[in-house]
A and B are shown apart, each in its own frame.
Chain A
Amino acid sequence: MPRDFLWSLPGAYRDLRRKESFLTRIHIDGWLLLGLIILMSVSLVILYSATGGNLNSTMAQATRFSVAMVAMIVVAQVPPRFMRRWALIAYIFTLLTLLAVLILGIDAKGAQRWISIGSFRIQPSELMKLALPLMLASYLSQCHLPPNWKNLTIAFLLMAIPTLLIAVQPDLGTSILVAGAGLVVLFLAGLSWRLIMSFIALALAALPALWMVMHDYQKNRVKTFLNPESDPLGTGWNIIQSKTAIGSGGLYGKGWLEGTQSRLEFLPERHTDFIIAVLAEEAGLVGVILLLTLYTLIIWRGMLIALSVDDTFSRLLASSIILTFFVYVFVNLGMVSGLLPVVGVPLPLVSYGGTSSFTLMIGFGVLMSIHTHKKMIVK
Chain B
Amino acid sequence: MTEFRRQIKDSEKENHIFLFRGRLLLVLVVLLMLILVGRMAYLQVFQYDLYTLRSERNRISVEAIPPTRGLIYDRHGQLLADNLPSHSLTLTRELTDDVEAVVAQVCTLLELDETCQTTLVERSFQRRRPFEPALLVDQLTEEQIARIAVNRHLLPGIDVSAQLLRNYPSGEALSHVLGYVGRISEEDMVNLDKKAYSGTHYLGKTGVERFYEDNLHGKVGYRKVETNARGRVIKVVESEHPSPGIDLTLHLDAKLQQFIYKILNKRSAAVVAIEPKTGGILALVSSPGYDPNVFIGMLDSTDFHSLRKDPQLPLFDRASRGQYSPGSTIKPMLGIAALDNSVITREYELMDRGYYQLPNDDRLYRNWKRNGHGMVNLERAIAVSNNTFFYNLAYNLGIDEMSSFMQRFGFGESTALDVNNARKGLMPSREWKKAAYKQPWFPGETLSTGIGQGYWLTTPLQLATATAVLANKGQWIAPRLLASTDSQLNLLPKKASKENIELKNPEDWDYIFNAMTNVMHGFEGTARASGQGANYKIAGKTGTSQVYSLSQEKGNRNTEGLSEHLIDHAVFIGFAPAENPQIVLAILVENAGGGSRVAAPLAREIFDFYLTQERLSLKENDLAP
Which residues from chain A sit less than 8 Å from chain B, CB to CB? 144-146, 184, 187-190, 240-241, 243-251, 260-261, 264-266, 280, 284-285, 288-289, 292, 295-296, 299-300, 303, 306-307, 310, 312, 315-316, 319, 323, 326, 329-330, 333-334, 337-339
B55 within 8 A of A: yes
B625 within 8 A of A: no
- Chain A residues in 8 Å Cβ range of B26: 299-300, 303, 307
Interface centre among B47, B55, B58, B234 (most CB of A within 10 A): B55
B436 within 8 A of A: no
Query: Could you list some 13 contacts between A and B, CB below 8 A?
Result: A145-B13, A145-B17, A244-B51, A248-B54, A264-B234, A292-B33, A296-B33, A307-B26, A310-B15, A312-B18, A319-B25, A323-B25, A337-B36
Q: Which of B14, B33, B41 contacts A295 (CB 8 A)?
A: B33
Q: Which of B15, B22, B44, B52 contacts A303 (CB 8 A)?
A: B22
- Could you tell me which residues of chain B, from 1 to 37, have a CB within 8 Å of some CB in chain A? 7, 10, 13-15, 17-19, 21-23, 25-26, 29-30, 32-33, 35-37
Q: Which of B80-88, B223-231, B246-254 contacts A (4 or more CB under 8 A)?
A: B223-231
Assembly CA distance A330 to B39 (angstroms): 12
Q: Is the CB of B36 within 8 A of A315?
A: no
B50 within 8 A of A: yes
Residue of A nearest to B60 (CB): A260
Residue of B nearest to A309 (CB): B18
- Chain A residues in 8 Å Cβ range of B18: 188-190, 307, 312, 315-316
Main secondary structure of the interface of A (DSSP, over half): helix
B45 within 8 A of A: yes
Q: Shortest CB–CB separation between residue B44 and chain A, in angstroms? A: 4
Q: Is the CB of A312 within 8 A of B227?
A: no
Residues A244 and B58 in contact in the complex (CB < 8 Å), given A187-B21, A285-B45: yes
Residue of B nearest to A245 (CB): B55
Q: Shortest CB–CB separation between residue B51 and chain A, in angstroms? A: 3
Q: Is the CB of A184 within 8 A of B37?
A: no
Q: Is the CB of B22 within 8 A of A330?
A: no
Q: Which of A145, A247, A299 contacts B48 (CB 8 A)?
A: A247
Q: Is the CB of A265 within 8 A of B44?
A: no
B59 within 8 A of A: yes
Q: Is the CB of A247 within 8 A of B58?
A: no
Q: Is the CB of A339 within 8 A of B39?
A: yes
B299 within 8 A of A: no
Which residues from chain B sit less than 8 Å from chain A, CB to CB? 7, 10, 13-15, 17-19, 21-23, 25-26, 29-30, 32-33, 35-37, 39-41, 43-45, 47-48, 50-52, 54-56, 58-59, 226-230, 234
Residues A246 and B59 in contact in the complex (CB < 8 Å), given A144-B10, A266-B229, A296-B30: no
Assembly CA distance A338 to B47 (angstroms): 13
Assembly CA distance A266 to B58 (angstroms): 8
Q: Is the CB of A146 within 8 A of B43?
A: no
Assembly CA distance A247 to B33 (angstroms): 18
- Chain A residues in 8 Å Cβ range of B33: 292, 295-296, 329-330
Q: Shortest CB–CB separation between residue B556 and chain A, in angstroms? A: 80
Assembly CA distance A249 to B44 (angstroms): 6
Q: Shortest CB–CB separation between residue B84 and chain A, in angstroms? A: 37
Residue of A nearest to B58 (CB): A266
Q: Is the CB of B43 within 8 A of A243?
A: yes
- Chain B residues in 8 Å Cβ range of A190: 14, 17-18, 21
Q: Is the CB of B54 within 8 A of A330?
A: no
Q: Which of A188, A280, A330 contacts B32 (CB 8 A)?
A: A330
Residue of A nearest to B18 (CB): A188
Q: Is the CB of B29 within 8 A of A296?
A: yes
Assembly CA distance A264 to B14 (angstroms): 55
Q: Is the CB of A247 within 8 A of B229?
A: no
Known: A247-B47, A315-B22. 11 other contacts (CB 8 A): A145-B17, A146-B13, A244-B55, A247-B44, A260-B55, A265-B229, A285-B45, A288-B37, A312-B18, A333-B36, A334-B39
Assembly CA distance A339 to B48 (angstroms): 17
Q: Is the CB of A307 within 8 A of B44?
A: no
Residue of B nearest to A276 (CB): B40
- Chain A residues in 8 Å Cβ range of B50: 247
Interface centre among A260, A312, A329 (most CB of B within 10 A): A260
Q: Shortest CB–CB separation between residue A184 and chain B, in angstroms? A: 7
Assembly CA distance A249 to B42 (angstroms): 12
Q: Which of B13, B44, B55 contacts A251 (CB 8 A)?
A: B44
- Chain B residues in 8 Å Cβ range of A249: 44
Q: Which of A188, A246, A299, A312 contacts B43 (CB 8 A)?
A: A246
Q: Shortest CB–CB separation between residue A137 and chain B, in angstroms? A: 12
- Chain A residues in 8 Å Cβ range of B23: 307
Q: Shortest CB–CB separation between residue A174 and chain B, in angstroms? A: 20
Assembly CA distance A8 to B508 (angstroms): 146
Q: Shortest CB–CB separation between residue A373 and chain B, in angstroms? A: 19
Q: Which of B13, B29, B43, B59 contacts A264 (CB 8 A)?
A: B59
Residue of B nearest to A268 (CB): B229
- Chain B residues in 8 Å Cβ range of A189: 17-18
- Chain B residues in 8 Å Cβ range of A316: 18
- Chain A residues in 8 Å Cβ range of B21: 187-188, 190
Residues A289 and B37 in contact in the complex (CB < 8 Å), given A188-B22, A243-B43: yes
Assembly CA distance A137 to B13 (angstroms): 17
Q: Is the CB of B14 within 8 A of A319?
A: no
- Chain A residues in 8 Å Cβ range of B10: 144-145
Residues A146 and B17 in contact in the complex (CB < 8 Å), given A250-B44, A285-B40, A306-B22: yes
Assembly CA distance A322 to B405 (angstroms): 106
Q: Is the CB of A285 within 8 A of B59?
A: no
Assembly CA distance A158 to B110 (angstroms): 65
- Chain A residues in 8 Å Cβ range of B7: 144
Assembly CA distance A184 to B22 (angstroms): 9
Residue of A nearest to B130 (CB): A233
Q: Which of A184, A285, A330 contacts B44 (CB 8 A)?
A: A285
Q: Is the CB of A247 within 8 A of B43?
A: yes
Q: Which of A241, A266, A337 contacts B228 (CB 8 A)?
A: A266
Q: Which of B13, B29, B47 contacts A323 (CB 8 A)?
A: B29
- Chain B residues in 8 Å Cβ range of A265: 228-230
Q: Is the CB of B40 within 8 A of A264?
A: no
Q: Shortest CB–CB separation between residue B4 and chain A, in angstroms? A: 13
Assembly CA distance A338 to B36 (angstroms): 11
- Chain A residues in 8 Å Cβ range of B48: 247-248, 250-251
- Chain A residues in 8 Å Cβ range of B35: 339
Q: Shortest CB–CB separation between residue B75 and chain A, in angstroms? A: 54
Q: Is the CB of B25 within 8 A of A303?
A: yes
Assembly CA distance A375 to B183 (angstroms): 87
- Chain B residues in 8 Å Cβ range of A326: 29, 32
Residue of B nearest to A192 (CB): B17
- Chain A residues in 8 Å Cβ range of B15: 310
- Chain A residues in 8 Å Cβ range of B54: 240, 244, 247-248
Q: Shortest CB–CB separation between residue A170 and chain B, in angstroms? A: 25
Q: Is the CB of B36 within 8 A of A334?
A: yes
Interface centre among B35, B41, B50, B51 (most CB of A within 10 A): B51
Assembly CA distance A260 to B57 (angstroms): 11
Q: Shortest CB–CB separation between residue A52 and chain B, in angstroms? A: 10
Assembly CA distance A318 to B6 (angstroms): 26
Interface centre among B35, B50, B54, B234 (most CB of A within 10 A): B54
Q: Is the CB of A251 within 8 A of B228?
A: no
